[in-house]
Amino acid sequence: MKIDKNIIKELTDYLNEFNLTEIEYTDKDTKIKVSKSNPTSSNQTVSVAASTPALDTVKSTVVSGTEVKSPIIGTAYLAAEPGGKKFVEVGKKIKKGETVMIVEAMKTMNHVPSTADGIIKEICVEDGQPVEYGQTIIIVE
């Protein structure tokens, strides 16, 4: 496996430019992760991890139940306000159309409705966690 050093340099530059602690790049079967340890120190250490997964080790996960996915990219919130009552909890009954979470995008709070009736089996994201479009956020059984 040959790793392009320019990609590592570019990722390291992004870490410094955007004051990040970690960044990851994936292309086909190559995955490069660059991270800083102890970002408050003046002597910053950058570590690079690269991996190429073997084709026979790729697993597919089977999900039982209905997946509620994020309709947009943003930040997921489990309650309407910090410290407030959560919209859903594992084991709670929910009806189709009921709000399960809020995803904030560009200072707009978007309520995410349940796509099915059922019981909350799993909450797949944490409060304040960034989510991607199409990412599973809740599993309803």
What the block records as the tokens of 66 is 């209905």
What the block records as the tokens of 140 is 């309803």
pLDDT tens digits for range 74-130: 999 988 888 888 988 889 999 989 989 999 988 888 888 988 889 999 888 888 889
DSSP 52-109: ---GGG-------SEEEE-SSSEEEESBSSTTS-BS--TT-EE-TT-EEEEEEETTEE
The model's pTM is: 0.53
**Is the predicted pLDDT of residue 57 greater than 50, yes or no?**
no
User: Would you state the CATH architecture of domain 66-140?
Assistant: Beta Barrel (2.40)
9, containing H or E segment: helix 5-17
Residue 4: per-residue pLDDT? 73
Residue 29: per-residue pLDDT? 72
- Break the chain into its structural domains and give their ranges: 5-56, 66-140
**Is the predicted pLDDT of residue 56 greater than 80, yes or no?**
no
Residue 54: per-residue pLDDT? 47
How many Cβ atoms sit within 10 Å of the Cβ of residue 138? 27
Percent above pLDDT 70 for the chain: 77
pLDDT tens digits for range 37-54: 654 444 555 555 555 554
